Structure 1
Amino acid sequence: MNYKQKLMLPMCAAFLLYGCNATNDSNHGDKNVEDMNTAGQGTETDVDPQVKAEVKDVEGKTLGIVNFTAEENAVLIQTALEGLEPGYHGFHIHENAICEPEAKEGPFTTAGGHFNPTDETHSHHAGDMPPLYVKEDGTAKYTATLDSMTIDQLKKEELAVIVHANPDNFANIPDRYEADGQKGPDEDTLKTGDAGDRQACGIIVGAEEK
């Protein structure tokens, strides 16, 4: 089994774990993601979101908007993005509402680590979301329902959404650990799943503020 095949296994398991639907062109009950407008013009659905995040790249270009809407004991997440590299990307909520593309430690590092109010390891952070899949044309449509966070937290905690450069391995052990003779995941993968650099960032605010 090669590295890519190994990487797909934890991704599939993560989808089952989160009990969500995060696909290119998918429906959430009667809520059709196809109702979203072109990503750069914002995303509008048939459900009025309570919380939004306008996602921008390192050059300040708007790639789309992430919508958050309360459901029974859960949060519905819907987004349409464009201008991204094809493939899987780590997609998380981070602990600081600060998106600085020219931050000293690297683009958007000012957003801090994953939103993790209960001090868990990855992939059990409240801000850990299923991976974002980007098509060959650079666009992605995404629907997920998570109970790891609440609308009140998203409104009050001053958080950000981050799109990472690489796939998220969900703290599993990739080939490089075997080559280094390690017996388990290191500190970085326990924190972030080795999702790599931050390509885009959006500050989460109440929908009425947008």
Structure 2
Amino acid sequence: MAAATPRSPAIARMLTADGQPAGQAELVDTPQGVQITIEVQGQRPGPKGFHVHKNGACAPGPDAATNRIVPFGAAGGHFDPGVTHNHGQPGRPMTEVHAGELPNIPIGPDGRGTLRYVNAHVTLAPGDTSIMGRTLVVHAETDDYQTDPSGNSGGRVLCGLIEPAQPGPVAGRATVDHPNAFPEGIAVDARGTAYVGSASEGHIWRIAPGAQKAEMFQEGGAFGRAAALGMKVDAQNRLWVAGGAQGTVSVIDLASGATLAILKGPRDTHTFLNDLVPAADGHVYVTDSFRPVLYRARYAPGAPLALEPWLDLASTPIRYVPNQINLNGIVASPDGRMLLAIQMVTGELWRIDTASKAVTPVRVEGGDLRHGDGLLLRGNDLYVVRNEADEVVRLQLAGDWASARVTERINDPRLKYPTTAAATERGLMVVNAQLDKMKDPPPLLPFDVVTLAWPR
């Protein structure tokens, strides 16, 4: 009996510059590398250049050689994890040529072409050489395998995003087109508009309902905000933003875009204000991942905007681990009487009584919550975003919040070091921060926010 053909875990739907379908590629991991099988139609006869490109967008963008906007320029240059900066023959060592080199596709007189090739230098699995989420590009001319940067293969005529072949939980995607965005926080207002903050530069972008691209809302830096981490919108349509190592919380009027106040925490270099939540008791509660203190500020109309240390966690059962991220994501019960916070380094979930200040551990049944970053409360379900695990975990809370049970673990190759999430009618918007790529290797551009469909 012949061996079964492995099921293709990824596909790339090849499109023309005006969005018309013109073929498809199927990709599968094999012991020898990624096997790419592509069929295209509607092309001029002759061999056509074909490559894996580094970015995850099939949109117009700048050409590196001329700086002119060209079709599919947003796909970037050839995938080159070996940093060779050298175009060459497919199959040569990755230390000598781009890993994304592929053979020319032969196009017949009928405008159709097919190619099957195994690229030994790449994988579909997570890692530095993964091409999941990147792009396949077909060019107008023949690749000479010599001329830098693309073999003199002419313009880009077809492009396809490499994505999972099987239906998954991702129901939408919005990109953040900034090379150093590293988006971390997210909040949604009453109209369904999302606001996304930059961990690296403090910028805040806005994503309209259903939009596929974020737009700049407020630049960071000038407002004393070098980072925009945990974010929430209060009942007065104000956006509260935790500022991380600066020890600040910014308050922004969403109607005007003006910064109303910058609340300052301790003047101590060893502080990291990470997440916050407005509670029904009239206070915003703020976690500090480095200092064992929970802060709060009053947010009622007319209340003075000031940040105060509210609970000394050193006198509670919580034990901070030095030089690690401790309390991070935080949510509040609808009546404001209880808080839940995740301790990222240990995976422990803590219940905090806002009246008595009593702190107790939540008994969790169903597995590991380490690397828990952002939290989202939806009814009786608590969603925990696990950054390093590339996972979102759904827990069902007991009525008194003393215990919880894992009911679902959501995994998808399109989750890339996710940090936080926000609820919309369409689903759970999850920020792909890629904070693990802040140094080397570089992040997969463009940064994005994906929407996970709500469980049925």
TM-score norm. by structure 1 comes to 0.66
1:69-113 alpha-carbon deviations (Å, 9 max, x no partner): 111131111111111111011100101111115876110011000
| Aligned position for 1:110 | 74
Shift of 1:147: 0.2
User: Where do residues 68-107 of structure 1 align in structure 2 (5 Å cutoff)?
Assistant: 68-101=27-60, 105-107=69-71
Unaligned runs of 5+ in 2: 63-67, 89-96, 169-456
| Aligned position for 2:379 | none
Question: CA–CA distance in 2 between the matches of 1:102 and 1:127?
Answer: 19
Tell me: CA distance 1:201–1:106, structure 2 relative to 1, closer, same or farther (3 Å).
Answer: same
Percent identity of paired positions between Structure 1 and Structure 2: 29
Question: CA–CA distance in 1 between the matches of 2:122 and 2:61?
Answer: 29
Q: What one-letter code is carried by the residue in structure 1 that aligns with 2:59?
A: E
Question: CA–CA distance in 1 between the matches of 2:141 and 2:32?
Answer: 31
- For the pair 1:167 / 2:134, whether they are aligned, the reply is no
| Aligned position for 2:87 | 122
Q: SS in structure 1 opposite 2:159?
A: strand
Q: SS in structure 1 opposite 2:166?
A: helix
| Aligned 8 A contact 1:52 1:65 in 2 | yes
Question: CA–CA distance in 2 between the matches of 1:161 and 1:91?
Answer: 7
Q: SS in structure 2 opposite 1:154?
A: coil
Q: What one-letter code is carried by the residue in structure 2 that aligns with 1:163?
A: V
Shift of 1:64: 1.2
Tell me: CA distance 1:60–1:166, structure 2 relative to 1, closer, same or farther (3 Å).
Answer: same
Question: CA–CA distance in 1 between the matches of 2:20 and 2:58?
Answer: 13
| Aligned 8 A contact 2:32 2:118 in 1 | no
The 10-residue stretch of structure 1 (93-102 or 105-114) with the greater mean CA deviation from structure 2? 93-102
1:7-31 alpha-carbon deviations (Å, 9 max, x no partner): xxxxxxxxxxxxxxxxxxxxxxx79
Shift of 1:60: 1.0
Tell me: CA distance 1:145–1:99, structure 2 relative to 1, closer, same or farther (3 Å).
Answer: same
Higher percent of residues as helix: 1
Q: SS in structure 2 opposite 1:115?
A: coil
Flag the structure with more relative contact order, 1 or 2, with Cα contacts below 8 A and sequence separation at least 6: 1
- For the pair 1:142 / 2:115, whether they are aligned, the reply is yes
- For the pair 1:208 / 2:183, whether they are aligned, the reply is no
Higher percent of residues as strand: 2
| Aligned 8 A contact 1:51 1:154 in 2 | no
Question: CA–CA distance in 1 between the matches of 2:138 and 2:158?
Answer: 5
| Aligned 8 A contact 2:10 2:28 in 1 | yes
Shift of 1:208: 2.1
1:132 to 97, 102, 105: 105
Shift of 1:209: 4.5
Q: SS in structure 2 opposite 1:110?
A: helix
1:190 to 148, 156, 167: 148
Runs of 4 or more consecutive aligned structure 1 residues displaced over 4 Å after TM superposition: 101-104
1:38-74 alpha-carbon deviations (Å, 9 max, x no partner): xxxxxxx954211111000112111111111111131
- For the pair 1:59 / 2:18, whether they are aligned, the reply is yes
Q: SS in structure 2 opposite 1:66?
A: strand
- If you compute each CA radius of gyration, which structure gives the higher value, 1 or 2? 2
User: Where do residues 145-156 of structure 1 align in structure 2 (5 Å cutoff)?
Assistant: 145-152=118-125, 153-155=130-132
Question: CA–CA distance in 1 between the matches of 2:11 and 2:54?
Answer: 16
Unaligned runs of 5+ in 1: 1-29, 32-44, 172-188
